[in-house]
């Protein structure tokens, strides 16, 4: 098959989307498929060698990568513009699509679904939507969309996008229920979770070369590793308040690893609180990720209170594979809460309650035997349910079915 994967972010950028899409693309290429990535130029600080370029065509791990320009800012209007620019670039790239090709679209942005509709109508392609976040629900809950007319228009656009696609992949049963409530028939929805490379990410000793290089050995370490974005900022700020409550315990440290549009603001907040038990580190080389996560005693999955019921961050799967207990900051109605509680692989606390976050950290710190048991259960879950091989096989089977199935004007 010829498979065109559309993802707004790709290596060398860091974060779950670039890593997962690289693993999916390279795995499919290794299975003999012709795979192309349609993406954007990398953002600072990962854009070395790409500065000043408007279009880049390159090959990575046997995959053709086409990069188009866009702009990314922390302002909601700026992000909307960036999403629109990328969607227009993806539509422009449709001139290379032929009948029988598989067009795979990783959403958000929701606008990218327009590319799928046009690929089906104009090119006769088989199209698969991969829904990673539910928009516009998240924008409504966050208060970004407030005007009733704007909300109504966004919901109608969402319904039009879903109505225009025969195959929609969601990452959890909660997402499936959301789409079903919006009128998407069950037969159009497949549940394929995100995954983790359990051969690469595996339990390692806490005292390892990466931990020693970064000075993370010797203390009880609670770690967040990921993008510091507009959507994660408020919950990370609550974690800083929890760190202030934990300050008298000189043996506990919060380590925040990552970059993003709100990193400087988060560091400024930590300085305002005069926290000497909080350490900020930049993203580390991907090859060092197993050692980095192993240097933690507890790994954090922070979710915004209003958004957590609609989100399953890919870092959750990485943490499970790393063999460390997880502290999920999520409401009880969320998928993250359900996974952690059912698997008994960690604890959960409300994302807006610093005192309960601090109490959960203390409970984990004081129960080394419990941490070890939680970590082992999490690792088993990663191997049994969320391994890279099993999920890639599920996607390949769906793509092959789509390529054989009917196409044309009717979704």
CB-based contacts of 47, cutoff 8 Å, min separation 6 = 41
pLDDT attached to residue 261: 83
Taking the C-alpha atoms of residue 53 and residue 66, their distance in angstroms, rounded to an integer, is 12
- Stretch 34-55: mean pLDDT: 90
Name the band, by pLDDT with cuts 50, 70 and 90, for residue 144.
confident
Instruction: Determine the longest span between alpha carbons in the chain, in angstroms.
Output: 65
Looking only at the bridges linking them, the beta strands covering 298-302 and 220-225 are parallel
Residue 331, helix vs strand vs coil: coil
Name the band, by pLDDT with cuts 50, 70 and 90, for residue 231.
confident
DSSP 8-state class, residue 280: E
209-385: which CATH architecture?
A: 3-Layer(aba) Sandwich (3.40)
Run of H or E including 140: helix 137-141
Helices (H) and strands (E) in the chain, counts: 15, 14
Q: Is 282 exposed, middle or buried (0-12, 13-18, 19+ CB in 10 A)?
A: exposed
2-195+387-404: which CATH architecture?
A: 3-Layer(aba) Sandwich (3.40)
Separation of CA 148 from chain center: 29
DSSP 57-92: EEEETTEEEEEE-----SSHHHHHHHHHHHHHHHHH
Residue 327, helix vs strand vs coil: strand
Query: Does residue 362 surpass a pLDDT of 80?
Result: yes
N-terminal to C-terminal alpha carbon distance within the chain? 21
The percent of residues in the chain predicted with pLDDT above 70, rounded, is 95
Same fold, 2-195+387-404 and 209-385: yes
317-340 burial string, b = 16+ CB within 10 Å, else e?
A: bbbbbbbbbbbbbbbeebbbbbbb
- Output phi, psi for 145, to 5 deg: -100, 115
Run of H or E including 379: helix 368-385
pLDDT attached to residue 147: 85
Cα distances (Å, whole numbers) of residue 141 to 29, 78, 137, 157, 324:
39, 19, 6, 17, 31
Tokens 């999520």 appear where? 330
For the chain, the domains span: 2-195+387-404, 209-385
Query: Does residue 306 surpass a pLDDT of 70?
Result: no
51-73 burial string, b = 16+ CB within 10 Å, else e?
A: eeeeebeeeeeebbbbbbebebe
Q: What is the pLDDT of residues 71-88, one digit of tens each?
A: 766 566 677 788 889 999
Q: What is the pLDDT of residues 272-282, one digit of tens each?
A: 999 999 999 99
Q: What is the pLDDT of residues 241-282, one digit of tens each?
A: 999 999 998 889 999 999 888 899 999 999 999 999 999 999
Tokens 């192309």 appear where? 36
Are 169 and 131 in contact by the 8 Å Cβ rule? The answer is yes
In terms of pLDDT, which residue wins out, 389 or 305?
Answer: 389
Q: 43-57, 140-154, 156-170, 371-385: lowest mean pLDDT where? A: 140-154
CB-based contacts of 124, cutoff 8 Å, min separation 6 = 98, 99, 100, 407, 408
Residue 127, helix vs strand vs coil: strand
CB-based contacts of 370, cutoff 8 Å, min separation 6 = 325, 364
Query: Does residue 341 surpass a pLDDT of 70?
Result: yes
Q: What angle do CA 300, 305, 309 make, to 5 degrees?
A: 90
Run of H or E including 22: helix 16-30
Separation of CA 200 from chain center: 18
Are 3 and 35 in contact by the 8 Å Cβ rule? The answer is yes
């Amino acid at each position: 098959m010829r498979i065109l994967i559309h993802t707004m972010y790709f290596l060398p950028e860091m974060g779950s989307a670039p890593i997962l899409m690289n693993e999916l693309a390279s795995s499919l290429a290794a299975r003999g498929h012709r795979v192309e990535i349609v993406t954007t130029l990398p953002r600072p600080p990962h854009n070395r060698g790409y500065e000043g370029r408007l279009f880049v065509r390159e090959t990575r791990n046997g995959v053709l990568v086409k990069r188009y320009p866009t702009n990314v800012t922390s302002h909601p209007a700026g992000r909307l513009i960036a999403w629109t620019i990328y969607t227009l670039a993806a539509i422009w790239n449709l001139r290379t699509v032929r009948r029988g090709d598989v067009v795979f679209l990783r959403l958000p942005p929701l606008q990218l679904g327009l590319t799928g509709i046009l690929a089906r109508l104009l090119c006769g392609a088989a199209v698969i939507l991969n829904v990673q976040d539910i928009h516009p629900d998240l924008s409504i809950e966050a208060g970004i969309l407030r005007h009733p007319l704007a909300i109504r228009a966004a919901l109608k656009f969402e319904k039009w996008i879903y109505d225009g696609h025969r195959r929609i992949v969601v990452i959890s049963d909660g997402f499936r229920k959301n789409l079903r409530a919006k009128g998407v028939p069950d037969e159009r929805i497949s549940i394929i979770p995100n995954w983790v490379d359990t051969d690469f990410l595996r339990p390692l000793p806490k005292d390892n070369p990466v931990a020693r290089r970064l000075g993370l050995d010797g203390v009880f370490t609670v770690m967040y590793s990921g993008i510091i974005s507009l959507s994660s900022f408020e919950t990370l700020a609550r974690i800083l308040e929890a760190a202030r409550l934990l300050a008298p315990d000189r043996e506990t440290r919060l380590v925040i690893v990552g970059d993003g549009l709100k990193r400087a603001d988060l560091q400024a907040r930590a300085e305002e609180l005069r926290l000497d038990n909080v350490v900020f580190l930049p993203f580390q080389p991907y090859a060092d990720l197993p050692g980095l996560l192993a240097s933690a005693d507890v790994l954090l999955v922070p979710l915004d209170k209003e958004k957590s019921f609609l989100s399953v961050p890919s870092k959750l799967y990485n943490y499970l594979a790393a063999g460390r207990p997880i502290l999920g900051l999520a409401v009880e109605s969320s998928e993250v809460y359900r996974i952690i509680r059912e698997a008994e692989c960690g604890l959960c606390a409300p994302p807006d309650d610093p005192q309960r976050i601090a109490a959960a950290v203390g409970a984990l710190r004081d129960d080394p035997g419990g941490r070890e048991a939680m970590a082992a259960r999490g690792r088993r879950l990663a191997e049994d349910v969320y391994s890279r091989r099993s999920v890639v096989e599920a996607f390949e089977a769906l793509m092959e079915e789509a390529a054989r199935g009917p196409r044309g004007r009717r979704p």
